[in-house]
Structure formats: structure tokens, C-alpha cells
Amino acid sequence: MARFLYNLVFTLAIPFILIRMWLRGGANPGYRQRWSERFALYNFSGKPNGLLIHSVSVGETLAAEPLVRSLQAANPDLTLTITTTTPTGSDQVKRIYADDLAAGRVVHVYLPYDLPWLTASFLKKIQPSLCIIMETELWPNIIRSCNKQQILVILANARLSERSAKGYAKFPKLTQPMLQGLDLIAAQHRNDGQRFIDLGIDEHKVDVTGSIKFDISVPEQSLAQGQALKKQWGEERPVLVLASSHEGEDDLILNSYQELLVDFPNLLLVIVPRHPERFDEVAALVLDRELHLVRRSESFDKGNLQVNPMTQVYLADTMGEMLLLLASADLAIIGGSFIEHGGHNPLEACALSKAVIMGPSDYNFAAIAQQLINQGAMQQTSAEQLTICIRQLLERPEMRIEMGAAGKQVVADNQGAVARLTELVCESLHR
């Protein structure tokens, strides 16, 4: 009955989902494109018996890259089908795997809506041997369809916050069969693994592999380009980067920035919104405050727009350049943490030896955040205390250096999850 009601509600919601996508398409045209894929209507060009990897959106897609590369090296003849649900996630797949897509080693489509006839049709087209779901993107029907077609399902880099676990526990008749349909859960942390076990998962299905987000490889090109940006902006200028900001956080940091200008008149603020449909909105917020703004996209459109000493805010209205922009920073603030969103990944900044500030909402990265705080690599603060926290770190460059070194060490000490996950996937493929 629970599954029937879920399917009924989802089916009735489809028209409203499509209307919402069309409205969002005004800011991001990707939401108005490729709707047929969301209904499993497309021709699959890959080989059967490959791997299906669902990476949801931007964060999961970026985090999954080391695993995908490792799996490609271990299984060079397999087709890897990578699915997302958002246009921004799709754009990242196209960017990261451009050569593989052209050569047919990787196929990319949207995951269809989670209705049984759509998921069944989707899997029959692809015929994967194994489905890897990244982190927590669990849908009842895709897992059930995999079970029916005898496709193994691995939840990789799995995390389950206390909040999410309570949510699953409220609907046991729907969530229990879904969770039982997983063949393996590769958990980021023992706390994540224990929460799955507490929900009724057989402990033999749970393996604590660590987080693949620690397995970061910083390209030399990103470092070099970041240093070049820093030089262009003025090597003596302190650079504050707000990474992956959400609505409400840009206003917060702009308030702090205007207070900080009294003591740091040459401070450059770099804002990197999480979603491209917010680029114009953030630009308007900056201009409403009569701050001098430069948009990164203008440097491409107009040839070579230079940041000058008068520039106060640099809006990164491009995609796929987070490492480059973080490489230019003296101090990084992690977005999604000053609203109830659970925060975004702080490890990219740590891998670049940057001092990091995060807000109080960190449930998406709770174990990682606590580890960074314990090792002196990150400071956590409230919205009310943010300006004070930034000021203290801007005044103490030696402290920023110490925090950056500690963060880089935490990243190095926790690498290895990709190798373990690759081993588990290969073992499952050759059962």
C-alpha cells in the first residue's frame, strides 16, 4: 500500500514538477531541455553489462570523478553510464568526461522520474551489471527495478545524517524495502554506517570505506591559474572567497564585507554562487550596495577585462572553476552552512591549504567538519559572529597558514576510500 500511494502521489505531481522546471528554465534554460530523458525516451548507445553511476548534481558529480577514473582504469572495456537529475550536474558530466563521451566510454543521460514503468524501461535499455548510487540519492522504484532485473545496487560514499535517519524511520513501510534492496552500503563514517544498521540493514552489508571526497587531486593547472589571478588582482590584496553560496548568504557576506572595508580597504570579495540561475540576482545585490563589481564572464565576453584597485567584488558567474578560484583565496567561507542546507564540501579548500570558515549548518559534512575543527583546520561560527571571525583571521596571516597546513594534512591522512570502493565494486562485478 505504501508503494502504491507513493506512485500515485508521484504520478499526480508530474504536471506540477514540469511546470516548476519550465519556470526555473527562465533562469537556467537546461531545465527546459531533454525532457524525454526524464521519461526514459532515448536511444542508448553504450554496451550492455556496464556500470550505471547516479551522481545527482554538481557536488556528487565532482566527488565521484576519482572513483569513475579508478573504475575506468580497472574495467577499461565497460561502458559507464552516468546519470544526474539537474542541468548543472549534467553540465559537469559533459565538462569532466568530454573525451570519454566522444569516444563512447561514457554515456550520459538524466535519471528518469522514479515511477516503476519508467525505471524498468530505463534499466532494460542500459542493461547494467551494477548500479552505483552516490551518497544518499535513494529512490524506491529505481532500487526495486534493479532488484527485479537482478542488477546489484551499491550505495557509495554513503552518508546518513541523524536528521535523515529520523525521516526514513517515519515511513518504514516505504523505506525498509528500499533499504533492504541495497546489496552494499559503503559508508563515509562509522556513524553513518551505524544509522543504516539501526534502520534495519544487515550489518554485513555495511562497509565503512571513508569519504571519497578526501581523495582530491589538485591539478597543477588550477594552482597556476589561481596564482595568476591573485597576481592580476594584486598580490598584496587579501582575497576572501564565498564558495557555493545560496540565497540569503550573499547578503550576509556583503554586510560583513562592508563592515570589514573600514579596516581592510583593499579587501577583494569573490562570490561563487552555487546555482547559475542566481548569477544575475547576486550581481544586482552587489550593485544595489554601490560596490564596484566585475563579473568573470565579462573577461571572456570582452576579451580581457582586468580587475583594478577599485574592484571590490568579483562575481564568479562561470561553472567548473571552483578549484581555480579557491586557489586564489587567502580565506574561504563555505556556503550552504549559514542557512539550513547542511553545508557544502570544505575539503577542496583544505586540499589547497586554505584557512576555512563554515557556518553552523553542517549536517551534510558533520563528521568531516568536526575532524577539521578538531585539527585546527577550520573555524565554525554563527552569522552574528561571522564578521568578527573573518577580521581575526585577516589580521593573523600566520594563523591562516597554520590552518591551511592542518587542513591539507587532514586531507592527506584520510585518503584511500576510492581504492577501497574500487575493490568492492570489482569484487561485486566478478561474483
Residue in this structure with the C-alpha cell 563512447, named with its chain if needed? 104
pTM above 0.75, yes or no: yes
Sorted by where each starts, the structural domains of the chain and their CATH numbers stand as 14-215+415-429 (3.40.50.11720), 220-413 (3.40.50.2000)
Catalytic residue among 60, 65, 249, 348: 60
Residue type, position 100, single letter: D
Q: Give the Cα separation of 133 and 202 in Å (integer).
A: 18
Give the separation between CA 51 and CA 67, rounded to whole angstroms.
12
Ordered DSSP codes for 388-408: HHHHHHHH-HHHHHHHHHHHH
**Distances, alpha carbon 118 to alpha carbons 12, 122, 131, in Å:** 15, 6, 16
For 148-292, list the strands marked E by DSSP.
152-158, 184-187, 206-208, 239-245, 268-273
What is the CA 157 to chain-centroid distance, rounded? 12
Per-residue pLDDT for the chain (431 aa), expressed as one digit of tens each?
888 999 999 999 999 999 999 999 988 899 999 999 999 999 998 999 999 999 988 888 988 999 999 999 999 999 999 999 999 899 999 999 999 999 999 999 999 999 999 999 999 999 999 999 998 889 999 999 999 999 999 999 999 988 899 999 998 899 999 999 999 999 999 999 999 999 999 999 999 999 999 998 888 888 888 888 888 888 889 999 999 999 999 999 999 999 999 999 999 999 999 988 899 999 999 999 999 999 998 876 554 556 778 889 999 998 888 999 999 999 999 999 999 999 999 999 999 999 999 999 999 898 899 999 999 999 999 999 999 999 999 999 999 999 999 999 999 999 999 999 999 999 998 87
Neighbours of 75 (CB within 10 A): 18
Whether 60 sits among the annotated catalytic residues: the reply is yes
Look at residues 39, 41, 81 and name the one whose alpha carbon lies nearest to residue 64.
81
**Which residues are CB-contacts of 54 (< 8 A; sequence separation ≥ 6)?**
82, 83, 84, 111, 131, 132, 133, 134, 137, 142
